[in-house]
């Protein structure tokens, strides 16, 4: 049996970034993916490196908005009735994570991971020959009322204290930044340092190509179990094939908790089902990414088209997709952006792996130090991929992690 130094489970942006970082440290790495590289959430996200999003989703602000949002089955936040009972324990943990003292702790941890990820990003892109895919076109968050704008100010003050550059703008400057915005949006906040990638799927596929070009192997199989063995780890696939390695990295996104359970750990990972529609590139003259925060979605310009998507549907892995959610966001975008052409779009739904406190699980398994977890990044997988890869590589090679990873402990629940 051929044995590698590391087996990485998952070929999304987190798994491939970690595999490349491990490879760069001189380790032999095999990646195992249940479908193909970039088959999951890494393909259909908004393409943003949202380093300014240091505030966790679990916060008092979301608790104020949630009751209104939940009344709209096609709104920014929904729980399908068929899944409500199953997700209740996760929702209780989410509610507890919204307490102010815990939000402060989560914000501090999130900020450290964002800073690391931003510092690691451009060197990582240069290393993987993908630096040309990076864009710095900014982000414009828009508001429909003074009350909505004022409600956002505490969050912006937290960002100001961290040195994040932004400016509040009125309708005239918004029109200069992004022509075609509907008159209903009277105020906005522009973040000029907002980064994005040309296309998240093409980027993830480029990482796969780079990994292979350096001798890395990507195999197709669904890993159903991990076992600690003498001197390493054994990964068991659903087809019965067994692979051995000195260490394993579990980065299987929304499916990760199933594998972790075989090591005796019950990690409360849930699935935020995200929806979008990608329109042809000429659908609108988009100058910057636009966040319609009051409606829970964004519009992003990719090299492959205009992507309209976002929102949160807490619906697990098994329920059928409800593409009426994509259609509802597209209808709103058509009303919000004068001249948007809604024809010719491609719909998508993907699984964002989310933990109740909005922080990922990064750290060693309880059962064995030879298994490292790297999942649960929610909306921020692309954003935190380079930083997570650095931390995983540190753990794999016995170095002190670049930042304190205690807040991300998989055992914190």
Q: What is the pLDDT of residues 102-144, one digit of tens each?
A: 999 999 999 999 999 999 999 999 999 999 999 999 999 999 9
pLDDT at 201 > cutoff 90: yes
The larger pLDDT score, comparing residue 282 to residue 58, is at 282
In this predicted structure, the answer to whether residue 73 has a pLDDT above a threshold of 80 is no
Q: How far apart are CA 366 and CA 287, in angstroms?
A: 47
Task: Kindly state the average pLDDT of the residues 211-227.
Answer: 97
Mean pLDDT of the residues in the chain: 94
Please determine, for residue 80, whether its predicted confidence score (pLDDT) is greater than 80: yes
pTM of the entire predicted model: 0.95
Mean pLDDT within 381-390: 98
40: which DSSP letter? S
DSSP E strands in 181-304: the ranges are: 187-191, 195-197, 217-220, 223-229, 232-237, 242-250, 270-279, 289-292, 297-302
pLDDT at 71: 66
Q: Set out the domains of the chain in order of their start, with CATH numbers.
A: 3-43+202-268+358-408 (3.50.50.60), 57-98+134-195+269-354 (3.30.9.10)
Listed in sequence order, the DSSP H helices in 178-250 are 200-213
Residue 320: Cβ within 10 Å count: 8
Averaged pLDDT for residues 353-360? 96
Element (H, E) at 33: strand 29-33
Q: What is the distance, to the nearest Å, from the Cα of residue 105 to the centroid of all Cα atoms in its chain?
A: 20
- Predicted pLDDT of residue 1: 60
The three-class DSSP label of residue 25 is: coil
Is 380:52 a contact under the CB 8 Å cutoff?
no
């Amino acid at each position: 049996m051929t044995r590698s130094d590391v087996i990485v489970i998952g070929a999304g942006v987190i798994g491939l970034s970690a595999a490349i970082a491990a490879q760069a440290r001189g380790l032999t790495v095999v990646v195992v993916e249940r479908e193909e590289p970039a088959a999951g959430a890494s393909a259909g996200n908004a393409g943003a490196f949202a380093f300014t999003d240091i505030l966790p989703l679990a916060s008092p602000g979301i608790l104020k908005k949630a009751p209104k949002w939940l009344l709209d089955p096609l709104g920014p936040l929904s729980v399908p009735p068929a899944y409500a009972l199953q997700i209740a324990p996760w929702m209780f943990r989410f509610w507890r994570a919204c307490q102010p003292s815990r939000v402060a702790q989560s914000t501090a941890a999130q900020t450290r991971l964002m800073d690391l990820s931003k510092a690691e990003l451009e060197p990582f892109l240069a290393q993987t020959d993908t630096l040309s895919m990076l864009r710095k076109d900014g982000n414009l968050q828009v508001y429909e009322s003074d009350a909505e704008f004022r409600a956002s100010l505490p969050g912006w003050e937290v960002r100001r204290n961290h040195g994040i550059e932004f400016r509040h703008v009125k309708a005239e400057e918004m029109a200069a930044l992004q022509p075609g915005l509907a008159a209903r949006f009277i105020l906005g906040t522009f973040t000029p340092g907002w980064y994005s990638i040309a296309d998240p799927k093409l980027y993830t596929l480029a990482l796969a190509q780079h990994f292979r070009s350096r001798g890395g192997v990507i195999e197709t199989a669904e890993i159903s179990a991990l076992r600690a063995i003498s001197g390493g780890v054994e990964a068991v696939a659903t087809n019965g094939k067994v692979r051995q390695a000195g260490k394993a990295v579990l980065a299987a996104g929304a499916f990760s908790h199933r594998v972790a359970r075989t090591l005796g750990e019950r990690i409360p990972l849930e699935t935020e089902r995200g929806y979008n529609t990608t329109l042809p590139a000429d659908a609108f003259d988009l100058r910057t990414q636009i966040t319609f925060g009051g409606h829970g979605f964004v519009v992003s310009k990719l090299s492959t088209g205009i992507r309209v998507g976002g929102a949160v549907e807490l619906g697990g892995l098994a329920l059928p997709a409800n593409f009426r959610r994509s259609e509802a966001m597209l209808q709103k975008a058509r009303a919000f952006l004068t001249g948007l052409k809604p024809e010719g779009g491609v719909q998508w739904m993907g699984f964002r792996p989310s933990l109740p406190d909005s922080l990922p699980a990064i750290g060693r398994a309880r059962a064995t130090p030879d298994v490292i977890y790297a999942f649960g990044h929610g909306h921020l997988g692309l954003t935190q991929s380079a930083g997570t890869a650095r931390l995983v590589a540190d753990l794999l090679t016995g170095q002190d992690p670049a930042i304190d990873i205690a807040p991300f402990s998989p055992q914190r629940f």
